[in-house]
Structure 1
Amino acid sequence: MNLNGAELMIRFLEFAGVEIVSGIPGGASLPIYDALYESKIRHILARHEQGAGFIAGGMARANGKPGVCFASSGPGVTNLITAVADAKMDSIPLIVITGQVPVSMIGTDAFQEIDTFSLSVPITKRSYLVKKIEDLIQILPQAWKTAIEGRPGPVWIDVPKDVASAKIDWDISREKEI
């Protein structure tokens, strides 16, 4: 099946049994929201990214599965910091997916670019900066597993807009059970 990176992420979340996500759309995360529109996953539009993070944390506490939240780059990322740090301290499994400027613009001080990876490393169990769409196929199940194994906690996946829009041939039915 030919999917873009954002569609691949949403299909993975559906496969993992995610029913509700929270977040705030922004320019760098629009491909994710386009893919979410076609999904049965319910989206809770938060008023602030910190709220989206705490909503995801509440969902994780309520259903025992990782909570999922989305945000855009730059201020969307920095607004999530408190909720994600809280999830790490309280051992709450989260999957945090943020948009990022295109790969070629990382490190150029582009509009709303921030070093999400460096900011998120101290407050997560694992942080990823996805530079190629092919890497998503390994990162998504790894992130899910990391969030729930051992001491649960948050995992951050930063996805540049060009990676979220890139196409790949992928069949979820070949994946092992999560």
Structure 2
Amino acid sequence: MKLTGSQILCESLLKEGVDVIFGYPGGQVLPLYHTLTQYPALRHILVRHEQVAVHAADAYSRVTGRVGVCLATSGPGATNLVTGLANAYIDSVPMVAITGQVPRTMIG
């Protein structure tokens, strides 16, 4: 069976024991959002801003001891994760940040 990149990502997250993803949808991650509907074991928590996603994933990890996962689109969506990721990094909090990216032909 041929899997899409989004399906491979979801399968990988499940194999690592991930059950919650905090995120905010945007253009370049919409295929992943469509795929998430096929994986009910991955609970998506919709936030109102990417910074909320990263800080919620940080808090989730600190409280549960499990990896925190946040999801944002490309460009400003991705850069909105930086402060929260730096905070988690400094405190050695396990986090995974997933961001979208535009095709190479659209860069620049």
TM over 0.5: yes
Residue matched to 2:39: 39
Moved over 2 A (4+): 103-106
Distance 2:2 2:64 in 1: 32
Residue matched to 2:67: 66
Distance 2:66 2:47 in 1: 20
Residue matched to 1:57: 58
TM-score in terms of structure 1 length: 0.58
More strand by share: 1
Shift of 1:102: 1.2
Counting aligned pairs with the same residue, the percent is: 48
Distance 1:11 1:53 in 2: 21
Distance 1:93 1:10 in 2: 18
Q: Determine helix, strand or coil for the equivalent of 1:100.
A: coil
Shift of 1:63: 2.0
Residue matched to 2:92: 91
CA deviations 1:89-128 (Å, max 9, x no partner) are 111110100001013333x2xxxxxxxxxxxxxxxxxxxx
Shift of 1:15: 1.5
Shift of 1:87: 0.6
Structure (1 or 2) with the larger CA radius of gyration: 1
Residue matched to 2:49: 48
Considering only aligned residues, what root-mean-square deviation do their CA atoms show, in Å?
1.1
- What number of residue pairs does the alignment pair up? 107
CA deviations 1:24-82 (Å, max 9, x no partner) are 01001111111111112111111110110011111111222211110001110121111
- Do structure 1's residue 100 and structure 2's residue 101 form an aligned pair? yes
TM-score in terms of structure 2 length: 0.92
Residue matched to 1:76: 77
Q: Which stretches in structure 2 are left out of the alignment for 5+ residues?
A: none
Distance 2:93 2:87 in 1: 8
Distance 1:104 1:6 in 2: 21
